[in-house]
Structure 1
Amino acid sequence: MALSARLEIRQGQGLVITPQLQQAIKLLQLSNLELEAFVEGELERNPLLQREETEAAAESAPDGDDGAGEARAESALDEVSAGSAQSDLDVSHDEVSPGERATGDAPEAGEAGGAVDWSRAGKGGSFEGDGEGYDSLAAHQKTLHEHLEDQAALLGLAAADQAIARVLIDGVDEGGYLRLDLAETAERLGCESARVEAVLAQLQTLEPVGVFARSVPECLRLQLQDKNRYDPAMAALLDNLDLLARRDMAGLKRACGVDDEDLRDMVAELRALTPRPGAAFGGEPAQPVAPDVFVREGPGGVWLVELNTDTLPRLLVDQRYHARIAGGARSDQDKVFVADCLASANWLVRSLDQRAKTILKVASEIVRQQDGFFAFGVEHLRPLNLKTVAEAIGMHESTVSRVTSNKYVATPRGLFELKFFFTSAIASTAGGEAHSAESVRHKIRQLIEAEQSGAEVHSDDAIVEILKEAGVDIARRTVAKYREAMRIPSSVERRRMLKEAV
């Protein structure tokens, strides 16, 4: 058979992930803080985008203000004309039309009801002229490293020792512990280990007391030495902290050579110390968690789900600016730039609207599935997985997973991440409805908390039997796993703690 070249026409189907679709998928999994940062970047990059809140101000502004927007757009055109974006926009207007850039298949989402505007409800008043608020003060709070550097500058160290001190300060973590190996540090700096240790000894005198320790016993020793309470008995206690963790008081008495009363005083003194002296300074200020969804009880016991519009960016495409820019575009490159900005702006506005509807739809289904939790508490939390929610609302599991990542819901029972409501199932002994893992953890915690009121200490085997009588079919190793995850000690350690309390 002779080989020859020929042309054939074939028709087929395939899924193409366009850049617009990739952007829509990315927006789904962003938290509200990450989304705000992304939108700020788009507002700076695209001259056709503006916030919805500025619309009223633009209408009431003088006619001369329009020139500022026109100048901003013309400046963007000048940059393109100068060739700064030629490599990214090396395509003619005929090859890729604005309609192709502005259309695409967004992730599937169903219809959602209207959301109440929470932005005007529940906000407290403010005092004008108060100066900086709490957030500003937290942002300017001195860090641990800055605090240590200020003190080290007053030690009067030699130039070489100051360099060593700076390296050691950089090696301190947020808790105040030194995470550097002194021998490796000395070799890296080209000096003797004794010199590094001498500088470290001076740095360990800084405040807060206990910083630059390399272990918990050393941190506690530095604090005891500062209080002039470090004696041989205390040294023995610090050398046997593992016995204290196991509540082995008899072994501690033998190791320290003291009686019961002295040991109680030593342990109380040790508990008054702080194992993380640098924690009071902290690093970056903690960002408050803003809920993406509100859940409240409506008339007739119906749970109402509403979006938090404060966390939803409101963007508009400025058609007036677009008309002026498009009218002033002369070269093909300018026309492509304007068309690309318009398509990108339109797609972003639609993607944000689709993201809000998808979040509302997923949250509404979660609330419908877990209505028992909202009405009666954690004991009525049902087993739930991504597949159940996805099938109920006609979406893919990956879409539900992205929507529930880093999203929070404010409820009458507190603030929860949406992933909190997805729990594994534990079978029922009577063959009835399965129990959620979270509700079983809650029952285990209740049984152990009841021990402190004088009841008998329950072993893991005893907890298994009690839960089976309550209709929960659970293995002993699962009880132990849940107990350890909740940082609850074993029955032996709890029994020792109860005896000490008595």
Structure 2
Amino acid sequence: MQMDLKLNISQKQKLILTQIMQQSINVLQMSAYDLREYIEKEFEENPILEADFNLIESKDNIDNTQLSKYLNDRYDENYNYQHNNEDEASVFNFISDKKSLKDYLYEQLGEIKSDIKIKKVVSYMIESLDSRGYLENTLEEICSDLGIDGEKVQNALEILQSLEPCGIGARDLKECLLIQLKNKGILDEIIKEIVLKYLEYIADCKYNYIAKELKITPKEVQAYGDIIKSLGPKPSRGYYTGEEVKFIIPDAYIVKIGDKYNVIMNKDIIPNITINNLYKQEILNGKNKKEVEYVKEKVNDAMGLINDIEQRNNTILKLLECIVKKQKAYFENGQEYLKPMTLRDLADEMALHESTVSRAIKDKYILTSRGTVKIKDLFCNGIVSSGINGEGVSTNTIKNKIKQLIQLENKNKPLSDQAICDLLKKEHIDISRRTVAKYREELGIKSSSKRKRV
């Protein structure tokens, strides 16, 4: 076997990201909250930087008096809005203080008259609760850890489970529900059996099956199911559990003055960054070479940060101005008027790379007359309707129509996906049954068989 070794030289184009480019990309994709933390960290590490927090600077063509009145009339002066990814807006999203769930439990425990040793076991259990308010350790493990008998641990568990919020200290979902039912005084043998044996069937609304098993009517099962579904699966919900809460800080305001929508960047979140003049003089007059090199390095870092922030703001401003033009009907009339718009559409119009647009809108929010809106939520694919004008309809609009149809349906005979599909076609929205099913599932709405009421 003969081996022929040759040396070939080839030329390839390859993009190598420098440290400066990487920092610029990172700053662009930071949320306002993260950017503020990043700037504070830079101030701690770079003595060259100086900061001056100024009021909002608006464009020259906007009346400052009108703008000030608009903002003061509508929004809190701190512009801080709490964000919760798990739940829709509720009173629990705006907890007034940071008294933790454990603090609340200890307060109640202090008012209970019981043996001091039992109270110490309860305290141990409180410290063993997970983020849902469930007791992670088994009773056997607690006995072993504390070196005590099972009777004391059982007594401690009963005390813990008697505290508020109801369901605290449960070992699993079923026990959590049973504690709540007992507390409400509605724990009979039938509902207890449903919780212990048929919880999954209740979730799927299989009332007929449960009715046959328990020898009661489907309507009775449905009534029990409604009670069970009204209970809370997480006792800790609404209480601070020690996890740091992040706040939504809008990067910009969309303000309508007269007939025009204006984009106002939120300058309050970022200080006016400058370079300390004393250090500039150090470079010009410094005699110690090492000190001069150090100062030069820090000045370069500071200039890089200032440029990155300015570039970030300019990119976001231009993107938002483009979005406002495209989505004026949305800002005027609401969600149903959101037009199809993709990252590619915006990237092509602004002569930017799609990834740049993606980074620029990542975790960014705007404050509008309709509330705080995630910029990403203004993007959606479109489906061409079968109407005369053939205009595109956004997926969000279609989802809203599906949701409305289901809300208005006869609960005894829920609409099938095909029936919804047929109704949408009458409105010149031509989509398949499978697409209807997909959007319905994305909305968290169950199938017609599981929505049926007896």
TM-score, normalisation: structure 1: 0.70
Contact 1:186 1:193 in 2 (8 A): yes
Residues 1:231 and 2:188 aligned together:
yes
Matched position secondary structure for 2:253: strand
Q: 2:262 aligns with which of 304, 310, 322?
A: 304
Contact 1:378 1:438 in 2 (8 A): yes
Q: 1:146 aligns with which of 88, 95, 103?
A: 103
Matched position secondary structure for 1:280: coil
Matched position secondary structure for 2:163: coil
Aligned to 1:413: 370
Matched position secondary structure for 2:425: helix
In structure 2, the gaps of 5 or more residues are 1-10, 75-93
Cα distance, 1:267 vs. partner? 5.6
Aligned to 2:115: 156
Aligned to 2:48: 48
Any residues of structure 2 matched to 1:6-45 within 5 Å, and which? 15-45=15-45
Q: 2:446 aligns with which of 489, 492, 496?
A: 489
Matched position secondary structure for 1:26: helix
Aligned to 1:74: none
Q: 1:294 aligns with which of 229, 253, 276?
A: 253
Q: 1:475 to 1:22 in 2, by over 3 A?
A: same
Any residues of structure 2 matched to 1:25-424 within 5 Å, and which? 25-53=25-53, 122-123=71-72, 140-151=97-108, 155-156=114-115, 158=117, 162=120, 165=122, 168-180=125-137, 199-239=156-196, 240-255=198-213, 270=228, 273-283=231-241, 284=243, 286-299=245-258, 301-319=259-277, 321-326=278-283, 329-424=286-381
Contact 2:166 2:183 in 1 (8 A): yes
Cα distance, 1:42 vs. partner? 1.5
Matched position secondary structure for 2:367: strand
**Separation in 2 of the partners of 1:369 and 1:355?**
21
Aligned residue type for 1:409: I
Q: What are the superposed Cα offsets for residues 270-327 of structure 1, whole Å, 9 maximum, x if unpaired?
A: 566433322132334744423212223344x4432221222233212222x2245447
Cα distance, 1:145 vs. partner? 2.4
Coordinate RMSD, CA, aligned:
3.9
Q: 1:290 to 1:323 in 2, by over 3 A?
A: closer
In structure 1, the gaps of 5 or more residues are 1-10, 56-111, 126-136
Cα distance, 1:333 vs. partner? 1.9
Contact 1:172 1:212 in 2 (8 A): yes
Indicate the larger mover: 365-374 or 14-23. 14-23
Q: 1:478 to 1:259 in 2, by over 3 A?
A: closer
Aligned residue type for 2:19: P
**Separation in 2 of the partners of 1:384 and 1:420?**
10
Structure number with larger C-alpha Rg? 1
**Separation in 1 of the partners of 2:350 and 2:367?**
22
Cα distance, 1:30 vs. partner? 0.9
Cα distance, 1:462 vs. partner? 1.0
**Separation in 2 of the partners of 1:217 and 1:405?**
39
**Separation in 2 of the partners of 1:343 and 1:412?**
41
Q: 1:434 aligns with which of 384, 392, 415?
A: 392
Aligned residue type for 1:436: S
Q: 1:345 to 1:139 in 2, by over 3 A?
A: farther
Q: 1:184 to 1:316 in 2, by over 3 A?
A: same
Cα distance, 1:487 vs. partner? 2.0
Alignment coverage as a number of residue pairs: 416
Aligned to 2:419: 462
Matched position secondary structure for 1:20: helix
Aligned identity (percent) is: 30
Contact 1:390 1:397 in 2 (8 A): yes
Contact 1:115 1:307 in 2 (8 A): no
Q: What are the superposed Cα offsets for residues 124-166 of structure 1, whole Å, 9 maximum, x if unpaired?
A: 79xxxxxxxxxxx95753211233345557653539x94x655
Q: 1:298 to 1:206 in 2, by over 3 A?
A: closer
Aligned residue type for 1:450: L
**Separation in 2 of the partners of 1:194 and 1:455?**
51
Q: 1:464 to 1:177 in 2, by over 3 A?
A: same
Q: What are the superposed Cα offsets for residues 408-447 of structure 1, whole Å, 9 maximum, x if unpaired?
A: 1223333221111221232434693432211111121122
Matched position secondary structure for 2:366: strand
Contact 1:312 1:356 in 2 (8 A): no
**Separation in 1 of the partners of 2:187 and 2:43?**
61
Indicate the larger mover: 12-21 or 387-396. 12-21
Q: 1:138 to 1:242 in 2, by over 3 A?
A: closer
